[in-house]
């Protein structure tokens, strides 16, 4: 796996000249991209009336902040809460509650500051990061340390199960033009590869993969974030994996 990592990094370095040619594309996208606000609403979501209650914390970037929808109740965290509750209420008579901490544009260093300020206990935590570290060209070393720091901070707070969602495959984002999207896609894959490697090495940490659905109704109007339907589909897709990891 380490050999594959170095091979991927070499591929990235070899493509650096092409990246320089894409700088005008990147500047144009930055200037013209539609910027949507973060969603509004309660950052603590509960679903179900049963006891006991399964609790989780969800930290992350714009997709956790609900960019692409108007209310947090339509976003990924709340939809995960609903999907998990629907499974657990019938099988285990359990409710689910989550605390949402998301910020548009944040990178791993920033989200780790949010984690360290957290005062809530929970049964597990989910971290959804990667897009901003991809576009910001966070180094693999910085990304590595960011992941390790988040795990350590959560463990210190008594949270021993940490789930990381897949770094989104940016080559599939409708808002990004070629060839720029393919370079970002490679960079995202590099970060995702390192994330998977670290999840295998750290006890209690698990990687949660998914398949991006880019149908028009699944994407927000910016072509960059999920719509309400997209968040719902994403949550329903990864819920079985989350439950499988929790049952282990």
**pLDDT score at 248:** 76
Q: Would you say the C-alpha torsion 139, 106, 74, 81 has a positive or negative sign?
A: positive
Over its length of 248 residues, how does the chain's per-residue pLDDT go in tens digits?
Answer: 655 666 666 665 666 666 666 667 767 777 777 899 999 999 999 998 888 899 999 999 999 999 999 999 999 999 999 999 998 876 777 899 999 999 999 999 999 999 999 989 999 999 999 999 999 989 999 999 999 999 999 999 999 999 999 999 999 998 888 888 888 998 999 999 999 999 999 999 999 999 888 788 999 999 999 999 999 999 999 999 999 999 87
Q: Which two tokens stand for residue 106?
A: 């944040």
Query: According to the 3-state scheme, what is the secondary structure of the chain?
Result: CHHHHHHHHHHHHHCHHHHHHCHHHHHHHHHHCCCCCCCECCCEEEECCCCCEEEEEEEECCCCCCCCCCEHHHCHHHHHHHHHHHHHHHHCCCEEEEEEEECCCCCHHHHHHHHHHCCCCCCEEEEECCHHHHHCCCCHHHHHHHHHHHHHHHHHCCCCCEEEECCCCHHHCCCCCCCHHHHHHHHHHHHHHHHHHHHHHCCCEEEECCCCCCCHHHECCCCCCECHHHHHHHHHHHHHHHHHHHHC
**pLDDT score at 99:** 97
**pLDDT score at 14:** 60
**pLDDT score at 239:** 97
**pLDDT score at 62:** 97
pTM of the predicted model, to two decimals? 0.91
**pLDDT score at 4:** 63
Distance CA 248, CA 245 (A): 5
């Amino acid at each position: 796996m380490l050999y594959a990592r170095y091979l991927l990094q070499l591929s990235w370095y070899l493509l650096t000249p092409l990246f320089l040619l894409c700088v005008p594309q990147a500047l144009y996208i930055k200037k013209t991209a539609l910027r949507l606000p973060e969603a509004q609403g309660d950052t603590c979501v509960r679903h179900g009336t049963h006891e006991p209650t399964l609790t989780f914390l969800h930290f992350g970037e714009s997709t956790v902040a609900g960019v692409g929808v108007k209310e947090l109740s339509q976003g990924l965290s709340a939809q995960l809460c609903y999907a998990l509750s629907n499974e657990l209420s019938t099988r285990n008579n359990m409710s689910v509650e989550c605390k949402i901490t998301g910020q548009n544009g944040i990178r791993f260093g920033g989200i780790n500051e949010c984690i360290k300020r957290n005062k809530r206990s929970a049964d597990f935590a989910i971290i959804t990061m990667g897009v901003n570290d991809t576009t910001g060209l966070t180094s693999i070393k910085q990304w590595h340390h960011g992941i390790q720091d988040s795990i350590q901070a959560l463990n210190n707070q008594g949270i021993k199960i940490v789930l990381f969602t897949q770094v989104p495959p940016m080559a599939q984002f409708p808002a990004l033009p070629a060839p720029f999207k393919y370079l970002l896609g490679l960079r995202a894959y590099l970060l995702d590869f390192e994330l998977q490697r670290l999840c295998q090495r750290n006890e209690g940490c698990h990687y949660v993969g998914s398949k991006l659905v880019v149908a028009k109704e699944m994407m927000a109007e910016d072509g960059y974030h999920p719509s309400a339907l997209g968040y719902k589909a994403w949550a329903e897709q990864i819920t079985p994996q989350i439950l499988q990891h929790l049952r282990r």
